[in-house]
Chains A and B, each alone.
Chain A
Amino acid sequence: MGHAAHNTGTLPPNPEKATLEGRNKFLAFWFFLGGETVLFASLFGTYLGLRNGTAGGPTAADIFHLPLVFIMTMILLTSSLTSVFAMLAMKKGNFKQMLVWMWVTVALGVTFLGLEIYEFIDYTNQGLTFTSSAFGSAFYTLVGFHGAHVAFGIGWIITLLIRYRKGGLTLTNAPKFYLASLYWHFIDVVWVFIFTVVYLMGIGG
């Protein structure tokens, strides 16, 4: 697949979808994202059902740090933009620039994860644990599942960045980076709802 393109040192436009393998991965990944939507919705539904079951412990309005969560939201939103820039660099054939933007995305993701861990430790110290109330269980399951997705995304992108740190863009690695960036956007999609439904509605509604 695509050997002719390799030999001449040029790639077709949209290298991520130039091969059958790339197109298959693209299709299968969107199928996976449709399933992920259902997974996260089940956790959101559970959280919304259980969020008032605080069992005398801390409530959402008692403990949530809105300014911290606001900063986390900005960081994740920016990381979504940097992975968009990475994909634009890829489509222009600028592999080096793509790698730099992907590293920036990873750095922002790590910052986000660090703040989330700090947040969880703080809430635990204030008496909200996984087993303290139904609200606690639902909260840590939902937000923790998202955090696990962020951690997996970071690991995935770092693996790709190390694996392809030398050499250039090929029809093999273009789909891999493209899917990793789709996954990263999806993490941000979920976070928009967590920010709104868990944090803002926890404080304001």
Chain B
Amino acid sequence: MEPNLNTNQPKVNLSQKEKIKLEREMRHQIITFVVMIFFTVLAFISVASDLIPASFAVPFILILAAVQVILQLYYFMHLKDKDHEWPNAFMLSGIVIIIPMVAALMLLLGVVKF
């Protein structure tokens, strides 16, 4: 074994199992990224092309956005991993608050025009 010349670079103690886990995580992240790119292109095409009516395109792109955000939160930001119970609770609390909030703002500002 070559001596560790740079003492400023500590090694992380990884077992073989953890190394395999990291490799698998890497693959999952790349798949997630490809899916997100694909969804972005799909959303872009469904609006840019004249063939698709707005009545279909708008709900469709909103669903694509929701799926992308879930992928981002659960895979890129690791909400799916263990030890993320409280982060999940915080984000879910936020989502529970924002649904009536966005609906109320849309109605009060957009329809009632206060």
**Interface residue ranges of A123-175 to B (CB < 8 Å):** 166-170
A189 touches B90 (CB 8 A): no
Instruction: Give the interface size bracket for B toward A.
Output: 35 or more
A84 touches B90 (CB 8 A): no
The dominant DSSP class at the A interface is helix
In the bound assembly, the distance between CA atoms of A126 and B38 in angstroms comes to 32
- Mask, B11-35, CB within 8 Å of A = 1, is 1111100110010011001100100
Contacts of B4 in A (CB 8 A): 9
B105 touches A200 (CB 8 A): no
A10 touches B10 (CB 8 A): yes
Minimum Cβ distance to chain B for residue A54 (Å): 13
In the bound assembly, the distance between CA atoms of A170 and B12 in angstroms comes to 10
A37 touches B69 (CB 8 A): no
A66 touches B26 (CB 8 A): no
13 contacts across the A-B interface (CB closer than 8 A):
A12-B12, A33-B87, A33-B91, A37-B98, A42-B105, A45-B103, A77-B36, A81-B29, A88-B22, A169-B10, A169-B12, A189-B77, A192-B72
A74 touches B40 (CB 8 A): yes
A33 touches B90 (CB 8 A): yes
Contacts of A109 in B (CB 8 A): none
